[in-house]
Amino acid sequence: GENVEQHPSTLSVQEGDSAVIKCTYSDSASNYFPWYKQELGKGPQLIIDIRSNVGEKKDQRIAVTLNKTAKHFSLHITETQPEDSAVYFCAARGTGNQFYFGTGTSLTVIP
Amino acid sequence: NAGVTQTPKFRVLKTGQSMTLLCAQDMNHEYMYWYRQDPGMGLRLIHYSVGEGTTAKGEVPDGYNVSRLKKQNFLLGLESAAPSQTSVYFCASSYASGGAYEQYFGPGTRLTVT
């Protein structure tokens, strides 16, 4: 099955700086890569996603890049704000409609 | 729309007891999923369903059973709870449109097995 690895596990940035979280996957058949934000005590919420036929996608301060050849994708958050502090998960949709998640990155934005 | 709801929010079981977790969605989604979330391990898929009356095993199905008798509901059952099943359980649902499969998650059920 698919194996998704996520780094770093924790990340602290100053408010206004950028944050980058990286994930790798193993199954070349995976075709959809979402990123989720999870706040304490809540379920994950989709913040951005990318399909395998696209290399980059942006939504205001958030962007995702995908390198299919290297099998890695990254989340970029610019101009970070304290409300960006949360746990972020990457995921890959493999065969059979199954999703495989990374182990999460705890992001802290220091005011 | 309520989105995805889960019942109950919290539960404490003794080893060997059984229980059923209920997930309901009002978005007419075909796909529904059950995950467990443990510290440092992300979310792991237990079982999923691609339509009413269908179920399939995920990464960690042992000790769990599921049923999807109605399109809007997905039930997760523990027949004989074990301490290793202490976890936070999340249900999710999704549509399939143009190659995107956005999942909507419920608020979670925190289960403790003593």
- Whole-angstrom Cα distance, residue B56 to residue B65? 10
CB contact under 8 A, B101 and A32: yes
**What pLDDT shows up at residue B97?**
65
**Band of pLDDT at residue A97, cut at 50, 70 and 90:** confident
User: Which chain A residue has its CA at the smallest distance from B50's CA?
Assistant: A97
pLDDT in tens, B59-99: 999 999 999 999 999 999 999 999 999 999 999 999 876 66
Give the closest of B42, B48, B108 to A97, CB-based. Answer: B48
The percentage of residues in chain B with a pLDDT greater than 90, rounded to a whole number, is 86
**Band of pLDDT at residue A111, cut at 50, 70 and 90:** very high
Q: Which of these ranges, B5-14, B37-46, B58-67, has the smallest mean pLDDT?
A: B37-46
Amino acid making up residue B37: Q
Contacts of A31 in chain B (CB under 8 A): 99
The SS3 assignment for A88 reads strand
- Whole-angstrom Cα distance, residue B92 to residue A28? 25
Parallel, antiparallel, or unpaired: how do β-strands A105-110 and A10-14 relate? parallel
- Whole-angstrom Cα distance, residue B68 to residue A56? 37
Q: Is B39 on the interface with A (CB under 8 A)?
A: no
Would you put residue A71 in left (φ > 0), alpha (ψ -120 to 50) or beta? Answer: left
